Amino acid sequence: MHPTRKAAVTATALLATVTLVAGCESGSTTAESVNASSGGSSRPGCPDALARVKRDVKAAEDVNAPWSGPTSGPRAVPGRSIVYIAQTLTNPGVEGVAQGVQEAADVIGWRVHTINGQGTPAGLKDAFDQALALKPDGIVIGGFDPSSTAKQVERANAAGIPLIGWHAVGAPGPSENPKLFTNITTRVEDVARLSADWIIAQSDGRAGVVLFTDASIPFAKRKSDLIKKELATCSDVKLLSYENIPIPQANTRTVKRVSSLAARFGDRWTHSAAINDLYFGYAESALRAAGRDGAGAPFNIGAGDGDPSAFERINGKAYQAATVPEPLSEQGWQIVDEFNRAFAGKPSSGYVAPVHITVAANSGGTLSWDSEGYRNAYRKIWDK
């Protein structure tokens, strides 16, 4: 275990019960709230599902995660260059993976060029055109839908340039349409399920939830749809609002929307989930202005990506209680390893990182989550 995690205590499955919860139909303003401390029902919501949910959440909060990825593969192919096309570098997850790619490339001895797509269709097309003009050995599709740059993808495929995605399509592993050597991500089904399960467990099955997403990104929309589906398995967990805020506009739109939501729902808003932690960074000022306690409701969980600012909010109990982090640096190293396999004429590794939940009780004060030993494992594979 990492030294900073040895002091971390795995959070117990029996989490704090939220006293204010919602009733009424999903997606609408609630008609009533139940306050257990003032005589309301203390029966846990959805008791049949609660034991399973709490068991799964406890397992996901385990901090002892030894390396379970590849331990063999081709030695380093020398002298290669790759381009990382970032959907937007204002997305901390995209930026964190870019940093991991650069770190791993320095070790393996390759050149990396990062291009910011600025979060717009035109910007991404221009960034991809720039990448192709550099004639690299490989290109990373960093956090955007390849269909938005379909012509550029076709050109890369025709030129024999392997493409590796990060959160580019809905599932990990190789993709035929679009043609990707592999796509790096945790399984979105697991991330979504555990994010929703954390809310169910933390609230003892009684919550009023706001869900933040970016429906312009198919991967993100699918994640939020899966979160909705899992929340619906508990009858006393109510979806108060589904907020579609594009990530590139989150800095300008989130504060206004959160202020409106706080005024509209009041204490009925007990929990939030978001497809990316960054929404809670922008929500912080609005929640503070609304008189909300940073350690209290709404208890917020990010279903990705677990960037350092999210860990800071969790550790400081500042308007975010949990995250389901991607192992961003580790995934950057995996991207480089997958390219090395492609350059050596080998198949992709097939590795998918396990899903983890970070809360203040198990973070150990760290600012990221990665499996233990991945750097040494890849160095041994590459003979570096």
Q: Is the Cβ–Cβ distance between 384 and 36 less than 8 Å?
A: no
Confidence band of 47 (pLDDT split at 50, 70, 90): confident
Confidence band of 26 (pLDDT split at 50, 70, 90): very low
Residue 15 has pLDDT above 70, yes or no: no
Confidence band of 44 (pLDDT split at 50, 70, 90): low
Residue 372 CA from chain centroid, whole number: 19
Q: What average pLDDT does the segment 141-162 reach?
A: 96
Which range has the worst mean pLDDT, 57-66, 157-166, 342-351, 372-381?
Answer: 57-66
Two structure tokens written together for 312: 């800071």
Confidence band of 69 (pLDDT split at 50, 70, 90): very high
Residue 371 CA from chain centroid, whole number: 15
The DSSP symbol for 66 reads B
Q: What average pLDDT does the segment 297-307 reach?
A: 92
Q: What average pLDDT does the segment 98-110 reach?
A: 97
Residue count of the chain: 384
Which range has the worst mean pLDDT, 13-22, 285-294, 343-352, 372-381?
Answer: 13-22
The pLDDT > 70 percentage for the chain reads 88
Residue 34 has pLDDT above 70, yes or no: no
pLDDT at residue number 304: 81
Nearest 5°: the CA angle 248, 254, 258 is 165
Q: What average pLDDT does the segment 68-76 reach?
A: 96
Confidence band of 35 (pLDDT split at 50, 70, 90): very low
Tell me the pLDDT of the chain averaged across its residues.
88
pLDDT at residue number 42: 54
- 58: number of Cβ within 10 Å: 17
pTM: 0.78
φ/ψ of residue 26, rounded to 5: -60, 135
pLDDT at residue number 39: 31
- Of 264, 204, 196, 258, residue with least CA distance to 34: 204
pLDDT at residue number 6: 40
Comparison of pLDDT for 37 and 181, the residue scoring more: 181
Residue 202 has pLDDT above 70, yes or no: yes
pLDDT single digits (tens) 324-337? 999 999 999 999 99
C-alpha to C-alpha distances, 120 to 127, 144, 166, 221, nearest whole angstrom: 10, 10, 17, 17
pLDDT single digits (tens) 153-189? 999 999 999 999 999 988 999 999 999 999 999 999 9
Q: What average pLDDT does the segment 365-374 reach?
A: 87
The pLDDT > 90 percentage for the chain reads 77
Q: Is the Cβ–Cβ distance between 165 and 140 less than 8 Å?
A: yes
Which residues does 180 contact at the CB level (< 8 Å), separation at least 6? Answer: 141, 146, 163, 164, 165, 168, 169, 174
Q: What average pLDDT does the segment 347-353 reach?
A: 96
End-to-end CA distance of the chain: 23
Q: What average pLDDT does the segment 185-194 reach?
A: 94
